[in-house]
Amino acid sequence: MTDTIETPITPMTQAMANGAPVSRRDLKALMKRSDRPGLVRLFWWCVTLTVTGALVWASGNNPWLLIPAMFIHGIVVVHHFALQHECSHYTAFRSVWICNLLAHICGFILVIPPRFFRYEHCDHHTYTNLHGRDPEMIELPVSFRTYLLYVSSIPYWYSQFEGLLRRAAGRITDGERRFLPESERGAIVLEARLMLAGYAVIGLVMLATGWTAPLFYWIFPMFMAEPVMRMIRMTEHVGRPQVEDMRINTRTNIVSSPWRFLAWNMNYHAEHHYAASVPFHALPKLHEKLAGHIFVERQGYLAAHLDILAQTLGRKPRADQSAG
């Protein structure tokens, strides 16, 4: 595997670039990478993680304090996905080694194999929100029950652990073969085995020593807060038309600064799909330049879910059954 996997330029993205919502000169300037913004964000990220972890520590054995503290801490923990995502695109930092290191750390924390994720995510950018082709696609729920089931994160965790165990056993599905080069499949299997070995070592140490910190500062908070991440991930494409045109198949959400911080600006999701090589810190500028050319939910995550639920409950036409 090479150090980087370039995100493919889809026909619609290329057409938009040629159609000049953003000039090539401006786009080139926005794509400039730097270590400094990422390191500054990473510093404050670690500070935030320390503060929320301190809330868990200060809660002691009082469940009325411990449970909400773990949930708050867990929201930060599950947002390691945003950092892993940026590092997978090699846009969080100019230094490739920093991106690789952090992608592996975040991937281990979240049970998201970084090598596998890069290939899968590359296909997501190629076939964004296209049924049967986008490997990361989240389908529009057919009922309120299926909506709640997805938000519960139960199907998500089943998929994550099933995939990790299966690949560790050397089994690759036909769907995975579509985006995994044959030359990389051995490395993907090894990655799964090493991750499982790492989890096993931590588990054995916990059993042998009575060490419980991973439970209260990592595992419990992560499982408690994953529904928050599932709801955020839904707002990116769910309820948008299943067409190639990224101007309408992807949703940008205008959210408050704390959410932008946690998401590493991935709330500017249509902008990210327009030019995936633009670093997180330049996405607000790209958002300004794409005004009027992309779909923007100005009321944020909550409004996006109200739209999703309106389609799910039949109160408005389903976007997956029309051109939008």
What angle do helix axes 35-59 and 63-78 make, rounded to 10 degrees? 160
Q: What is the DSSP string of 186-217?
A: HHHHHHHHHHHHHHHHHHHHHHHH---HHIII
Residue 274 and residue 13 in contact, taking contact as beta carbons nearer than 8 Å: yes
Report residues of the chain scoring pLDDT below 50: 1-18, 323-324
Give residue-wise pLDDT tens across range 205-230: 999 999 999 999 999 999 999 999 99
pLDDT of 18 reads 42
pLDDT of 41 reads 98
Give residue-wise pLDDT tens across range 102-123: 999 999 999 999 999 999 999 9
Strand partners, 295: 251
pLDDT of 271 reads 96
Give residue-wise pLDDT tens across range 128-154: 999 999 999 999 999 999 999 999 999
